[in-house]
Amino acid sequence: MRLLLTMIVAMVASVVARAQAVDIRSITPVVNLTVPVSAFNLATGAASVTSPSAISTRLRSNRNWNFTVRSGSTTFAHTPVPGAPTTSKPVSQLLIRENGAGSFLPISTSNVVIASGPNGNNIDRDFDLRFDTTLDDSPGQYAVTLVFTLVTL
Amino acid sequence: MSFESGEHSATWGKSVIGWPVISFSRTAGTGLFPALFKLWTLCRGSHRRAGLRPADAGRRFDRLTVCKRPALLNFSILLLFLAAPVLEAFVGVDRGELLFKLVPGHGAASTVTVTNSGTELSTVSLSIEDFKIADGRPNFSAQEHSRALASRLTVFPTSFELKAGESREVQVLLDPGDGPFEAGTYWAVVFVQTSRLADMVPPGGDRQVQVRVVERVGVFAFADAEPEPRPLPADVEITGLENAGKNLVVSVKNPSRYLRLVTEGYVLATPLDGGAAQRWPMQTFRVLPDSVVRMEIPVPEAAAGMGRCNVLVALDYGADELVAGEQEFEF
């Protein structure tokens, strides 16, 4: 009888445990940044715009996990304003870091680990984005796709 | 150094970094408890019944005894590891890895259930890629290597839509071809990717950046050529143990050409002043072939104030022996 009860408990616990997922419950689908003219250093012609917590995620994991990011292309897709030339701008001038943690990492087509951690429910991780530009970059829209990958370890 | 205690024995040696490594063997012994122990391990196909208790809370263990735990408790612990890991994004999957045998001329199939756990319609696409191993972790950007598996795997379907809350089963098929294969594990990863439509901002006069985010989860596929007999050889080592504040970091080396799955492990922290010991469970994790992995083990809040402790880490990956190591830390 005790064995039967134990097996029932085992089955219930297994179902409950299985229901625990490793997941990203939410992730910001698109981020828009604007570089205002006032952001440029007139001496160097450079500007750097940072968007804290630009990308928010909520993870759940029943194992240790690893979160990486890479770009889908080596350069931004540039749509210049009418009359302006097209700029081939490397995606490495877009940088990412976990919110407030350490230095920014340049985006590339190689996967870069931006977060990892132990199992848990409702693990909130936000990521800051930084965009570096200069007056040599034509005005217009610089678009890129970032691929975030979650795996268990 | 070695000792024997009933059905269990231990040997104590030095790891390559010079700190003690203890391995525990559970084969010898006679009597009722050893018989029950053997029956239990046979029933569950593994060897993880022992709870380790320091008999001497000195600066180093010079003697260890092994105590049994009540069967119900042990069964409960087992249950925690029965559930397959589950991955899920807005579109998730019900497992983190697929295990195959790589036998020339013998195909194999497995399934992954994909679920849209979000609140919107999602378009799902699946792809298979090879990857290399770097610093114990998968490096998805480096793909070519001698034990690549992706070309032998297919998924069906490769693209579909899922409404919120919907699930769909995906077939993962292995066609090994004629071989031959070197003994060891071959591997690849199945990516389940989703993307959502987002309003695009039309270009303006300023410099604007638009970052579109795509999320994907990875399901590892491992296939063993010439699978090893059980129990597995005692080749896994603990090569380091660090106290990183909120986490203990244990370095585990797998020198073999096969994947090693650590299916159970625990940390036993024993205060040197004689206070009550604490046992912290560890999550299942994998050690990829020919690699060293650094696993973080959260230090529970209850450990605060324990003072100087002897910390023992014991891991079970299916060998006849547990692999263990110890170090002293302040909590």
Give the model confidence (pLDDT) of B245-270 as tens digits: 888 999 999 999 999 999 999 999 99
Residue B150 has pLDDT above 90, yes or no: yes
Q: What is this structure's pTM?
A: 0.74
Percentage above 90 pLDDT, chain B: 46
For the stretch A61-108, pLDDT in tens is: 778 888 899 998 999 999 988 888 999 999 999 999 999 888 999 999
What pLDDT, on a 0 to 100 scale, did the predictor assign at position B323?
94
- The mean pLDDT value of chain A amounts to 82
Q: What's the rounded Cα separation, in Å, for the pair A118 and A124?
A: 13
In chain B, what residues touch A144 (CB-CB under 8 Å)? 209-212
What pLDDT, on a 0 to 100 scale, did the predictor assign at position B107?
95
In chain A, what residues touch B295 (CB-CB under 8 Å)? 64, 153
Q: Nearest CA of chain A to the CA of B260: how many Å?
A: 12
Residue A53 has pLDDT above 50, yes or no: yes
Residue B100 has pLDDT above 90, yes or no: yes
Q: Identify which of B215, B210, B168, B218 has the alpha carbon closest to the alpha carbon of residue B195.
A: B215
Residue B110 has pLDDT above 90, yes or no: yes
Average pLDDT over residues B280-306: 91
Average pLDDT over residues B186-194: 92
Question: Across the interface, do A22 and B75 touch by the CB < 8 Å criterion?
Answer: no
What pLDDT, on a 0 to 100 scale, did the predictor assign at position A8?
57
Q: How far apart are the first and last CA of chain A?
A: 38
Question: Across the interface, do B296 and A64 touch by the CB < 8 Å criterion?
Answer: yes
Q: A6 or A96: whose pLDDT is higher?
A: A96
Map tokens 């196909």 to a residue. Answer: B45
In chain A, what residues touch B247 (CB-CB under 8 Å)? 118
Question: Across the interface, do B210 and A28 touch by the CB < 8 Å criterion?
Answer: no
3-state secondary structure of B277: coil
Q: What's the rounded Cα separation, in Å, for the pair B102 and B108?
A: 9
Question: Across the interface, do B83 and A6 touch by the CB < 8 Å criterion?
Answer: no
What pLDDT, on a 0 to 100 scale, did the predictor assign at position B63?
26
pLDDT grade, residue A59 (50/70/90)? confident
In chain A, what residues touch B201 (CB-CB under 8 Å)? 32, 141
Residue B310 has pLDDT above 50, yes or no: yes
Residue B42 has pLDDT above 90, yes or no: no
Average pLDDT over residues A2-25: 49
Residue B38 has pLDDT above 70, yes or no: no
Amino acid at B97: E
Residue B141 has pLDDT above 90, yes or no: no
What pLDDT, on a 0 to 100 scale, did the predictor assign at position B78?
36
What pLDDT, on a 0 to 100 scale, did the predictor assign at position A102?
85
DSSP letters along B195-235, please? Answer: E---PPPPP-SSEEEEEEEEEEEEEEEEEEESPPPSSBPS-
Residue B1 has pLDDT above 70, yes or no: no
For the stretch B74-99, pLDDT in tens is: 333 333 333 333 444 466 788 888 99
- The mean pLDDT value of chain B amounts to 75
3-state secondary structure of B64: strand
